[in-house]
């Protein structure tokens, strides 16, 4: 008899990290994975299912019900109700969740209320500050408490969990499946040729090797408003002092972020503002870059696979492995701190040891463990 594992997600990073696990589960004849999307980030999820040749069986379409509001209470109500209804109807043997988004915690909570075992990917990342990042740090901690099995990407993450009283026999160090996904897509790039893809996707990028490409993304709630304004001023000053650098800013669709970025940077020389590209297109952009400036967690994990450094514009990061190994520089959010971090790139040297977040085999380990435990 086949056992059903419902795989819940709502954001682009969740799908990207869950997809290789679903592909591995599909290889097991006695397991049926069912992909359920909350529908909270539809515009950022476009085309992802085609990259991995996966079918999303159910979409809760929460945005069609609550609109574009950023009100977390309304989002919470809609996403939780949607997952609860579907889980009650399907009655799966287990639920798989990933990361720190609202969809992660709310799918887990819906499963918990129905006594469905929860398998939690990317467990144990911590800043130990509920405001950094907000509300994701809280979602991580609450999901941890109600999960049956926790897949920690690194030993540091496992240490965080055991310090919180989680039994060691519930924790498995497996690596982060983002490395698996990036390796999978890079193998497709090699078949086509990265230069050809660059010309196809970004014909406007200069070919002058003296001009350095810096990829920028900013989107977190704690970095909006006056904080974002300060970050943008720092970027303008950096460009003024480094005229050979081209900054390509992938602008998040959040209305507050978008308005601020376009207001401050639209007519500034050296900045190109783009809508978030499809994921494979974004990875092509990364492959052409010399550095990344971001508050994204996923980018901190992806950049080492392209052997480029990341300036993290946050006060704290739950991904300390990159900072400790030298792949990331934690800059804070002040103008002097960001400028100082950027200037330190002049002395940056590629760390040894490859990507500190995984070896490209996390999805195999996770799928194997799910198969054995349900």
Catalytic positions are 100, 122, 136, 219, 221, 252
Cα separation, 123 vs 246, whole angstroms: 36
Beta bridge partners of 291: 214
Distance CA 158, CA 171 (A): 7
Joined together, the tokens standing for residue 108 give: 């887990």
Where is 258: in which H helix or E strand?
A: helix 255-265
Alpha carbon 87 to its chain centroid, in Å, reads 25
- Nearest of 270, 335, 317 to residue 157 by alpha carbon: 317
CA nearest neighbour of 100 among 251, 297, 253: 297
Say if residues 6 and 96 touch (Cβ distance below 8 Å): yes
Q: Which two tokens stand for residue 321?
A: 């492995």
Q: Tokens at residue 65, please?
A: 């019900």
Residue 246 near residue 270, CB atoms below 8 Å: yes
Of the candidates 87, 78, 104, 92, which has an alpha carbon nearest to the alpha carbon of residue 14?
Answer: 104
Determine which helix (DSSP H) or strand (DSSP E) holds 48, and give its type and residue range: helix 48-51
Identify the burial level of 104 via C-beta atoms within 10 angstroms of its C-beta, where 0-12 means exposed, 13-18 middle and 19 or more buried.
buried
């Amino acid at each position: 008899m086949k056992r059903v594992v419902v795989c819940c997600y709502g954001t682009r990073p969740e799908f990207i990290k869950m997809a290789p696990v679903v592909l591995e589960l599909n290889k097991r004849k006695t397991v049926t994975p069912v992909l359920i999307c909350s529908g909270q980030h539809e515009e950022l999820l476009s085309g992802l299912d085609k990259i991995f040749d996966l079918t999303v069986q159910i979409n809760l379409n929460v945005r069609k019900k609550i609109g574009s509001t950023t009100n977390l209470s309304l989002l919470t109500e809609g996403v939780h109700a949607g997952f609860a209804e579907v889980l009650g109807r399907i009655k799966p043997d287990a639920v798989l969740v990933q990361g720190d988004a609202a969809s992660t915690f709310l799918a887990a909570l819906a499963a918990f209320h129905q006594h469905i075992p929860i398998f939690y990917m990317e467990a144990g990342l911590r800043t130990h500050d509920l405001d950094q990042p907000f509300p994701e740090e809280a979602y991580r901690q609450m999901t941890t408490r109600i999960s049956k099995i926790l897949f920690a990407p690194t030993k540091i993450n496992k240490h965080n969990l055991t310090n919180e009283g989680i039994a060691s026999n519930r924790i498995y160090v497996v690596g982060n499946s983002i490395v698996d996904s990036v390796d999978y897509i890079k193998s497709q790039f090699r078949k086509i040729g990265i230069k050809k893809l660059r010309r196809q996707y970004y014909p406007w990028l200069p070919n002058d090797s003296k001009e350095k490409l810096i990829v920028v993304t900013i989107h977190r709630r704690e970095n909006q408003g006056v904080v974002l304004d300060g970050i943008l001023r720092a970027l303008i000053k950096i460009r003024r002092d480094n005229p050979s650098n081209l900054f390509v800013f992938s602008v998040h669709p959040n209305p507050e972020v978008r308005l601020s970025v376009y207001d401050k940077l639209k007519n500034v020389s050296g900045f190109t503002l783009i809508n978030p590209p499809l994921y494979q297109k974004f990875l092509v952009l990364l492959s052409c870059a010399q550095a990344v400036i971001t508050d994204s967690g996923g980018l901190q994990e992806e950049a080492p696979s392209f052997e480029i450094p990341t300036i993290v514009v946050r006060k704290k990061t739950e991904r300390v492995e990159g900072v400790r190994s030298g792949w990331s520089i934690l800059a804070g959010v002040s103008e002097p701190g960001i400028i100082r971090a950027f200037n330190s790139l002049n002395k940056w040297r590629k760390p040894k040891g490859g990507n500190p977040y995984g070896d490209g085999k996390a999805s195999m380990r996770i799928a194997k463990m799910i198969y054995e435990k349900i």
